[in-house]
Structure 1
Amino acid sequence: MITTLYRWRFLFLVFLVGLCALLWPGVRAGVQVDNSLAAWFLEDDPALVAYQEFQERFGNDEVVIIGVHDSTTLLTPGNSQRLRHLSLALEAHPAVAAVLSAGTTTVPTPNGLHAARPLLDSGATPAAARRYLSRRPTLRQQLFSPDYRTARLLVVLRASPNFDDQRGEILTQLRRITGAHVPRGSYWLGGVGVVYAGLNALSQQDFGLFLGLGYALMFVLIWLLYRNLWLLLYTLGIVSLATYVTLGVYGLLGYRLNLMTVLLPVIIILLGLMDALHVVNERNHLARPGSTGPADTLQALRNLARPCLATMLTTVAGFLALLSSPMAILRVFGVFAALGIGLCLVFTFGLGVLVLPYAAPSPRATRITSNRLVTFYELVLRHRRLATAASVWLVALGLWGATRLRADTYTLGYLPANHLVVHDHQALEAAWGPYLPLELLVEPRSGYSLASPAVLQAAAAFADSARTLRSAGQVFGFQSLYQAGLETRYGPRGGQLLGQASAVQDMDARLRQDYPQLLAQFVHQPSGTGRITVSGRMLSARQLTATTDTLLRMASHTLGPVARVRPAGYQPLYARITNYVTTSQTNSLLLSFLLVLGLVWVFVGNFRLAVLALIPNVFPVVVLLGVMGWAGIAMDTATVSIAAIVLSFCTDDTVHFIHAYREQRRRGLGPAAARHRTVAHVGPTIVLTSAVLFGGYAVMLLASLQTVFLFGLLTSLSIAAALYGEVIIFPLLLERFDRD
């Protein structure tokens, strides 16, 4: 096969050029970013279906909260005019469905409920507005803070098919509009969408920058080690082509980069560099003084065809184990990571016959590393008890730390403390209080409707209970519309009339006639479903789940006899990610270990050796999980994939080590001599690739974004642990369990 590939190498080159040209539209489309819910959840996921039903009933639930602040009071003619003009400018934006604020609120004239005027019209004095709001506490709570220094504007965004792609630009425009009407430093933007837009923008910027710097450092190190431009072209070509073709297919199939698939280049460079340097190392061992031509290159490729195919299959199997995940984003990531790994094998051999014959052998780095590694191995054998004890201690410490590991997600914590989104969030919570919406759906039981006095009173009682929670603030729902209307008509005590059927029926008719759009935001007439929004603090997924459970218990106590209550909107999806991450990590790791064990067993033909080979693969995963547990690093969407990456890294080196060891045994060497020869033969590649990859990923420690920092930190530590497992633990296991 290698000889045939060499004979047709230039035709292969033409094929590559044509393939790259055909895939260019896919690459251009694939590198676009899409972190929409469709990328994260399966189409038939019950949580996603429920969220889509909620949006169909009440529209887009994404709300931008804008806080406007004045150090003295907002009830001045100038501030009133500013709030009116800002509200109108925001309403005029095509992506905005509605703005609920003091600037858009209309109130009845003295003539009655039907004739309305703006709350902050030019004829109303600040004192009159204050008096009006003081008699209507439900309305005041939604518009101003108790000291009237902060006003809240709820900007309801319009749903659209490509809303997720446009979110960042829409928020930038809303911030620009606000800045044109309010002095700098006197306004803040908050909301789930604001946090995610900031996180997406910074993650793309930081990840692209530091991954690029890391790649540059890796190839600089390769140049310094081998001092050969052809070898540099060979390794760079494998990684670049595999990445390009993977992204091309990815884009042509309609996928876009997301928080997980942006890691595809990370996987490809790991496997691409490792197999490439194993080929280079093998050729350096075969090179004879004065030898020319492609003979050594072709023989090196023949020698490594079987182990490289085995590493590809075991690693592909590990990533395809992610198909067991309940998350669409992890399934897609596993499939295309597997594709990229397969392409690495193709280009390792395809470019091997094209490029490597032109590169003069450079055995210096291999020879120096080999000699030092053999010396180090002999030192380990002289102190095998100490090395064994250290290894057992590290495993025990890792397992103990893994028991402390928790699954959680706190998106705001990924941003640096000086980020604009973090500053706005802190200022908004300090001036206004909890502001993030947590949605609940209320479905009246048989014999009741949302306008039933019993349901309205129960909803009001639930709102009073919810406000006592430390993590909750204001509560506004369908019952609040009736309360506000009754207060408008009867004064501050109007809310007490929720139990009177005649007053409620009259108010229901007036709301349907005079405020149908406002009513539709909290009441879905066809299904008779009501909406209650609890303003909460920015919480982690685990904390959000606990808060939601508490709210549901309160709702069961107050609303339970007359209605069913369930969580709705985006927050349940956010909370469910934690459960999915835990399930995905557990299932995929267990399945991948079993697949790797089976494939290695088939490859080496010896079950005992296959089990021994699995141990150095497990060791860095244990270290990784232990470090995360001891350091308090949660297992979330930013860290869940690292274990799979570590497994792929270890499997590759382990298979090459086993292959070389078995070859030495077949040649008649005893176990001790075979281990020494294997360490000298394969060890240099393991050490050099580890050094190159460790240096590249350690660059990410300079990033300001926590996700990039953690990825660089944990990947670097895992690479170091994998090196320890391959050059210390695995040889010790062979020395102990594979004797003469």
Structure 2
Amino acid sequence: MISSLYKWRFLFLAALAAACVALWPGVQAGVQVDNRLSAWFLEGDPALVAYHTFQQRFGNDEVVIIGVHDPATLLTSRNFRRLRQLSQALEHHPDVAAVLGAGTTSVPAPDGLHSARQLLDSTTTPAAVQRYLARQPTLRAQLFSPDYRTARLLVVLRSSPDFDDRRGEILGQLRTLTEAHVPKGRAWLGGVGVVYAGLNALSQQDFGLFLGLGYVLMFVVFWLLYRNLWLLLYTLGIVGLATYITLGLYGLLGYRLNLMTVLLPVIIILLGLMDALHVVNERNHLAGPGSTGPTDTLQALRNLARPCLATMLTTVAGFLALLSSPMAILRVFGVFAALGIALCLVFTFGLGVLLLPHAAPSPRATHTTSTRLVAFYGFVLRHRRLATVVSVVLVGLGLWGATRLRADTYTLGYLPTDNIVVRDHQALEAAWGPYLPLELLVEPRPGYSLSSPAVLRAAAAFSDSARTLHSAGEVFGFHSLYQAGLETRYGPRGGQLLGQSGAVKDIASRLQNDYPQLLGQFEHKPSGTGRITVSGRMLSARQLTATTDTLLRMARHTLGPVANVRPAGYQPLYARITDYVTTSQTNSLLLSFVLVLGLVWTFVGNFRLALLALIPNVFPVVVLLGVMGWAGIALDTATASIAAIVLSFCTDDTVHFIHAYREQRRAGLGPYAARHVTIAHVGPTIVLTSAVLFGGYAVMMLASLQTVFLFGLLTSLSIAAALYGEVIIFPLLLERFDRE
């Protein structure tokens, strides 16, 4: 096969060039960012169906909260004008469905309820506004803080097919409009979408920058080690072409980069660089003084064809285990990571016959590393008990730390403290209090409706209970509209008339006639479903789940006899994403271990040796999870994928080690001599690839975004642990279980 590949190498090059040209449109499409929810969930997922049902009933649930602040008071004519003008500018934005705030609120005119005027019209005095709102406590709580220094505007965004793609652009325009009407430092933007857009923008910027710097550092180190342009082109070609073709097919099939598939280049460079260095190392061992021509290159490729195929299959199997995930985003990630790994094997051999014959052997780095490794292994053997104790302690600490690991995520915590999103959140929460919407759907039981006095009283009782939670603030729902209407008609004590059917019926009629758009925000007439929005604090996914559970217990106590209550909107979907990701990664990791064990067993033909080979693969994963547990680093979308990457890295080196060891044993060497020869032969590649990759990923620790920092830190740590497992633990295991 290798001889045929060499014979037809120029035809291979021509076909490769044609494929690159044909895939260019796919690459252009594939590198676009798309983090829409449909990319995360499988079609028909109950959580996604429930979310879309909520949006169909009440529109886009993504609300931008704008806080306008004056350190003295907002009750001035100038501030009233600012609020009116800002509200009007926001309402005219094509992607805004509605603006709910003091600048858009209509109130009854003195001549009757049916004649309305703007609360902050040009003729209204600050004193009149304060007197009016004093009689309207429900309305006042939604418009101003108790000290009248902060006003809240709720900007409801329109639903559109490309909303997820344009979120960052839309929010940037809303920020610009706000800054044009309010003095600098006196307005803040908040909301789930604001945090999400800020995190997405910074993650793309930081990940691209520091991954690029890491790649540059890797290849600079590679150049310093080998000082050979052909070898550099060989490794760059493997990684670059595998990445290019993977992204080209990815884009042509209609996929776009997201928070998971942005890791594809990371996977590809790991396997591409490792296989390339194994080939280079093998060629250096075969080459004699003054060796030229393709003979040594072709023989090196023949020698490594079987182990490279085995490493590809084991790693591909590990990533294809993600097909067991209930999430579309993880399935797609697994499939294209497997594709990229398979392409690395193709180009390792395809470019090997094209480029390596032109590269002079460079055994200097390999020979130096080999000599030092043999000396180091002698030191380990002389202190085998100490090495064993240290390894057992590390495993024990890792397992103990893993028991402390928790699945959680706190998106705001990923942003630097000086980021504008964090500053706005802190200022808004300090001036207004909890502001993020937690949505609940209320479905009256048979015999009741949303306007039934019993349902309205129960909803009001639930609101009073919810406000006692530390993590909750103001509560507003369908019942609040009736309370506000009764307060308008009967004064501050009007809310107490929710139990009187006549008064409630009158207000229901007036709301339907005079405020249909506002009523539609909280009541869905066709289904008879009501909406209650609890303003909550920025919480982690675990805290959010606990708060939601508490709210549901309160709802069962107050609303349970007359209605069913369930969570809705984006927040429960977000909690489900975290649960899906962590569960999927855990299950797929276990499945991948089983698949890897089976494939390694098939490759080596010895179950005991395959079982021993699994231990150095497990060790870096145990260390990784242990460090995360001890350091309090949660298992989430940013960290859960690292274990699969580590497994792929370690499996590759283990298979090459086993292959070389078995070859030496078949050649008649005893276990002791076979271990020394194997370490001298394969060890340099393991050490050099670890050094190159460690330096490349350590650069990412300079990033300001916590997700990128953690990825660099944990990946670098895992690479170091994998190296320890390969050059210390595995040889010690072989010595223990394969004696002379």
Does structure 1 residue 187 correspond to structure 2 residue 187? yes
SS of 1:633's equivalent?
A: coil
**Does residue 1:65 correspond to 2:65, yes or no?**
yes
Task: Identify the residue that residue 563 of structure 1 maps to in structure 2.
Answer: 563
* Residues 48-83 of structure 1 deviation map (CA, whole Å, 9 limit, x = unaligned): 110000000000000000000001111101000010
Q: Which amino acid aligns with 1:467?
A: R
Letter of the 1:585 counterpart? Q
- After TM superposition, the structure 1 = structure 2 runs for residues 521-532 of structure 1, keeping only pairs within 5 Å, are 521-532=521-532
Letter of the 1:432 counterpart: W
**Residues 355-382 of structure 1, C-alpha deviations (whole Å, 9 max, x = no match):** 1010000000000000000000011011
Matches within 5 A, 1:631-650: 631-650=631-650
1:226 & 1:456 partners in 2: Cα distance? 77
Q: Contact 1:701–1:713 (CA<8 Å) still a contact in 2?
A: yes
Residue 618 (1) aligns with residue 605 (2): no
Cα offsets for 1:315-341 (capped at 9, x unmatched):
000001111112221111111000000
Any idea what SS the aligned residue of 1:82 has?
Answer: helix
Structure 1: distance between partners of 2:246 and 2:577? 27
Structure-2 residue corresponding to 1:110: 110
Q: Distance in 1 between matches of 2:509 and 2:733?
A: 81
Partner of 1:410: 410
Which one is further off, 35-44 or 247-256?
A: 35-44
Q: How does 1:166-315 map to 2 (within 5 A)?
A: 166-315=166-315
Q: Is 1:146–2:146 an aligned residue pair?
A: yes
Deviation of 1:581 after TM superposition, in Å, equals 2.7
Q: Separation in 1 of the partners of 2:563 and 2:331? A: 38
Instruction: Kindly provide the CA deviation profile for residues 424-466 of structure 1, in whole angstroms up to 9, marking residues without a partner as x.
Output: 0000000000000000000000000000000000000000000
Give 2:506's aligned amino acid: D
Contact 1:65 1:152 in 2 (8 A): yes
Pairing of 1:511-660 with structure 2 (within 5 A) = 511-660=511-660
Find the counterpart in structure 2 of residue 489 from structure 1: 489
Q: Secondary structure at 2:47's aligned position in 1? A: helix
**Aligned counterpart, 1:728:** 728
Between the aligned partners of 2:462 and 2:96, the Cα distance in structure 1 is 31
Give the Cα–Cα distance (whole angstroms) in 2 for the partners of residues 433 and 587 of structure 1.
40
- Answer yes or no: is the 8 Å Cα contact 1:542–1:578 preserved in 2: no
How far apart are the structure 2 equivalents of 1:565 and 1:3? 70
Contact 2:485–2:507, Cα closer than 8 Å, also in 1: yes
Is the Cα contact below 8 Å between 2:462 and 2:559 reproduced in 1?
yes
Match of 1:360 in 2: 360
TM-fit CA distance, 1:515: 0.8
Tell me by how many angstroms 1:44 deviates: 1.5
Q: Which amino acid aligns with 1:230?
A: W
Amino acid at match of 1:624: L
> 1:594: Cα distance to partner?
0.2
1:686: which partner in 2?
A: 686
Report how far residue 155 of structure 1 moved.
0.2
Determine the C-alpha separation between the residues in 2 that align with 1:272 and 1:652.
Answer: 11
- Distance in 1 between residues matched to 2:630 and 2:41, nearest whole Å: 31
- In structure 2, what is the Cα distance between the partners aligned to 1:296 and 1:422? 59
What residue identity is the alignment partner of 2:249? V
CA distance in 2, matches of 1:708, 1:71: 37
| Alpha-carbon distance, 1:578 to partner | 2.9
What is the CA distance between 1:177 and its match in structure 2?
0.3
Q: Which amino acid aligns with 1:592?
A: S
Q: Which moved more, 1:288-297 or 1:413-422?
A: 288-297
Where 2:147 maps in the other structure, the secondary structure is coil
**Does the 8 Å contact 2:465/2:554 carry over to 1?**
yes
Structure 2 counterpart of 1:79: 79
TM-fit CA distance, 1:582: 2.9
1:578 is aligned with what amino acid? T
Provide the secondary structure at the position in 2 that maps to 1:405: coil
- Answering whether residue 102 of structure 2 is matched by residue 93 of structure 1, we say no
- Counterpart CA distance in 2 for 1:257 and 1:495 is 51
CA contact under 8 A between 1:64 and 1:154: conserved in structure 2?
yes
CA distance in 2, matches of 1:486, 1:30: 56
Q: One-letter code of the match for 2:77? A: P
Question: C-alpha separation between the residues in 2 aligned to 1:292 and 1:118?
Answer: 88
Q: Is the 2:439–2:568 Cα contact (8 Å) retained in structure 1?
A: yes
* Residue ranges of structure 2 left out of the alignment (5+ in a row): none
Structure 1 residue 290, shift from structure 2 partner: 1.9
Structure-1 residue corresponding to 2:440:
440
User: TM-score scaled by structure 1?
Assistant: 1.00
Mark the runs of 5 or more structure 1 residues left unpaired by the alignment.
none
- How big is each residue's C-alpha offset from its partner over 1:507-551, in whole Å with a ceiling of 9 and x where there is no partner? 111111111111000000000000000000000000000000000
Measure the CA separation in 1 of the matches of 2:391 and 2:192. Answer: 45
- Equivalents in 2 of 1:124, 1:514: separation in Å? 21
1:93 aligned partner, one-letter code? H
SS in 2 for 1:153: strand
Provide the residue aligned with 1:718 in structure 2. 718
What is the CA–CA distance in structure 2 between the aligned matches of 1:428 and 1:579, rounded to whole Å? Answer: 29
Distance across 2 between alignment mates of 1:282 and 1:161: 53
Aligned-residue offset at 1:585: 2.4
Letter in 2 for 1:304: L
Stretches (4+) displaced over 6 A = none
Equivalent residue, structure 1, for 2:465: 465
Q: Does 1:477 align with 2:477?
A: yes
The one-letter code of the counterpart of 2:517 is: Q
- The equivalent residue for 1:121 is 121
Q: Which moved more, 1:509-518 or 1:470-479?
A: 509-518
Identity of matched residues, %: 85
Determine if contact 2:291/2:361 at 8 Å carries over to the other structure: no
**Equivalence for 2:48:** 48
Matched residue SS, 2:447: coil
Q: After superposition, what is the alpha-carbon deviation per residue over 1:634-654, rounded to whole angstroms, capped at 9, x for unaligned?
A: 000000000000000000000
Q: 1:577 Cα shift? A: 2.3
Q: Hey, what does 2:317 align to over in structure 1?
A: 317
Task: Tell me if structure 2 keeps the 8 A contact 1:407–1:581.
Answer: no
Q: For 1:705 and 1:43, locate their aligned partners in 2 and report how far apart those are by CA, in whole Å.
A: 32
The one-letter amino acid of 1:19's match is A
3-state DSSP class of the match of 2:64? strand
Mapped contact 2:582–2:637 kept (Cα < 8 A):
no
Whether the 8 Å contact between 2:136 and 2:484 is mirrored in structure 1 is yes
Alignment match, 1:39? 39
Per-residue CA deviation, residues 201-248 of structure 1 (Å, 9 max, x unaligned), is 000000000000000000000000000000000000000000000000
The alignment partner of 1:676 has SS state of helix
Normalising by structure 2, we get a TM-score of 1.00
For 1:507 and 1:299, locate their aligned partners in 2 and report how far apart those are by CA, in whole Å: 89
What's the secondary structure of 2:338's corresponding residue? helix
1:66 aligned partner, one-letter code = I
Q: Contact 1:581–1:635 at 8 Å: present in 2 too?
A: no
* Aligned mates of 1:715, 1:507 — CA distance in 2: 61
Aligned residue for 1:117, secondary structure, equals strand
Q: For the residues of structure 1 that align with 2:151 and 2:241, how far apart are their CA atoms? A: 54
Contact 2:214/2:699, CA 8 A, preserved across alignment: yes
SS for the counterpart of 1:32 is coil
1:589 counterpart letter in structure 2: L
Report the aligned-residue RMSD.
0.5
Moved more, 705-714 or 37-46: 37-46
Structure 2 CA distance, aligned partners of 1:652 and 1:542? 36
- 1:706 and 2:706 aligned: yes
Matched with 2:379 is: 379
**SS of structure 2 residue aligned to 1:97:** strand
Q: Which amino acid aligns with 1:680?
A: A
Instruction: Quote the residue 1:131 is aligned against.
Output: 131
